[in-house]
Structure 1
Amino acid sequence: MGDLVEATVETLRHSLFGRGAARCVIGELEGEPVGFALYFYNFSTFVGKPGLYLEDLFVRPAHRGLGLGKLLLQYLANLAREEDCGRMEWFCLDWNAPSIAFYKKMGARPLDDWTVFRLDAQALEDLAFPQ
């Protein structure tokens, strides 16, 4: 889905290190970065606690099947527990069968009764108060 990516090195640098909007954990194998998990905190009024939201989990294709994705998820689950988060959530495209199977194997369950809504850049501009 690289054709849909708008992020640049500069926007990532600003968002991750300038604003602190998200955090990233790098997975290494023998000193080489081979995966990452990008996450941030949200809040649930249902459970009355913060939640850990996983935005991206990625392991390079050549290194998949070695348990690195599971280690990254375990790291985040431990972090969520330490931060007293009520839950950990993420989205997964419904056609991504390998990822769905992987997440289910980790104990995650899909929430089929929720619908995702999004305002993209133009919709945000249209909805916001006039400047």
Structure 2
Amino acid sequence: MSRREPAASQAKPMDPGQLEQMTTMLRAHSGARVFVARHIGEPAGIATCYLGFATFSACRTLHIHDLFVVAPLRGSGIGRALIEATAHQD
């Protein structure tokens, strides 16, 4: 059973301990893939994905779990670029 996450507009920023825990857990998860977009050298967006398997088509899948772009850069194509990057993941 999955836990319901708050909407991005209602989520509070992570404290450093939460961020460290999340980073450690993602690195340990062999099926996790994280894509980070940068704009002028600064983080601008993220796509967190997990590998899966489609039984009916017998192929690997990649499920986007989180897609986030910083507010000032929304509408600039960063989200689309992150989605396209996930589509080219082997």
The total of aligned residue pairs comes to: 78
More helix by share: 1
Distance (whole Å) between structure 1 residues aligned to residue 23 and residue 63 of structure 2: 19
CA contact (8 A) 1:38 1:54 kept: yes
Shift of 1:17: 1.5
42, 53, 65: which is aligned to 1:32?
42
Aligned match for 2:33, one of 11, 23, 36: 23
TM-score by length of 1: 0.54
List runs of 5+ in structure 2 lacking aligned partners: 1-6
Q: Is the 8 A contact 1:15 1:21 kept in 2?
A: no
- CA-atom RMSD in angstroms: 2.0
Larger relative strand fraction: 2
Residues 1-24 of structure 1 show CA distances to partners (whole Å, capped at 9, x for unaligned) of 316x8x922331221113334121
Structure possessing the higher relative contact order (Cα contacts under 8 Å, 6 or more residues apart): 2
- The AA in structure 1 aligned to 2:45 is G
Q: What CA deviation, in whole Å up to 9, does each residue of 1:97-119 have, x standing for no partner?
A: xxxxxxxxxxxxxxxxxxxxxxx
What is the TM-score with the length of structure 2 in the denominator? 0.76
Per-residue deviation, residues 53-92 of structure 1 (Å, max 9, x unmatched): 101010011101111111111111111xxx2xxxxxxxxx
SS in 2 for 1:20: coil
Runs of 4+ in 1 over 6 A off after TM superposition: none
